[in-house]
Structure 1
Amino acid sequence: MRFSPVIAALLCFTTWMSMVHASIGPMASCCYWRSKTRVPLERIVDYTNQSEGLCPITAVVFLTKRGRRICSDPNSDWAGKAIRKVDKEKEIKALQKMGGIKGSTSNITPAVSNTATNAPQKEC
């Protein structure tokens, strides 16, 4: 069987592109430094934790309503507040999905005491 130089070049190019994509692809979404940007907590909708390994620093990556990413120090007070806010909202949404909470109303019927109606009544 004859091996064509075109096939060899195509095979080399495909292998090279796979290696470049595998090594550079995940790095594109890494934080390389931590921002001191602080937006109002109402604008934060989600977060992910970035650990060292593929990425150069440890950070919390916040996602805003406008789709912006904020790389923050995971030990900062602001980051802690934002994480708690997002976690609380996720918990509320999960409870709403399960039917436990419907908006801000309650579907629990209040208990009424019957002690006054069960007492013997005197006739006048």
Structure 2
Amino acid sequence: TSSQKMGQIIFFVTFISDCLFYVSVYVECCRRYMKTRVPFGVIRGYSVQRETELCPINAIIFHTKRGKACTDPAFNWVMEYVNRLRNAAQLVHKTSKVQK
């Protein structure tokens, strides 16, 4: 019947969209760390990745002009870079004019 076909179509579309979502998350996440230190001057920002079922490691992801650099938060230099970026952001915040 047409209602069964409609139900099958809805199920199929939902299934495909869920699959595409999980594939995009999997592609974006870090699955291993860089082996070399990233020069601080090339870093534009960072994000934090927490270990999940799809992303198997905790990571600090430094964003550069060339892409992303997946780094191990256990390294002191990684957390020093994060602190430097936070301090720079706080300085920008403090010196910015408040807009109403």
* Correspondence for 1:88: 87
The structural deviation recorded for 1:5 is: 7.2
Q: 2:12 & 2:19 partners in 1: Cα distance?
A: 11
Query: For each residue in 1:31-85, what CA deviation from the matched residue of structure 2 results, as whole angstroms up to 9, or x when unmatched?
Result: 0001123232121121111111241111111112x15100001011220221122
1:23 partnered with 2:19:
no
Please identify the structure whose Cα radius of gyration is greater: 1
Q: Which is strand-richer, 1 or 2?
A: 2
* Correspondence for 1:55: 55
* Correspondence for 2:32: 33
Aligned length: 97
RMSD: 2.2
Structure with bigger RCO (C-alpha 8 Å, 6+ apart): 2
Residue ranges of structure 1 left out of the alignment (5+ in a row): 100-124
State the TM-score, normalized to the length of structure 2.
0.79
* Correspondence for 1:13: 12
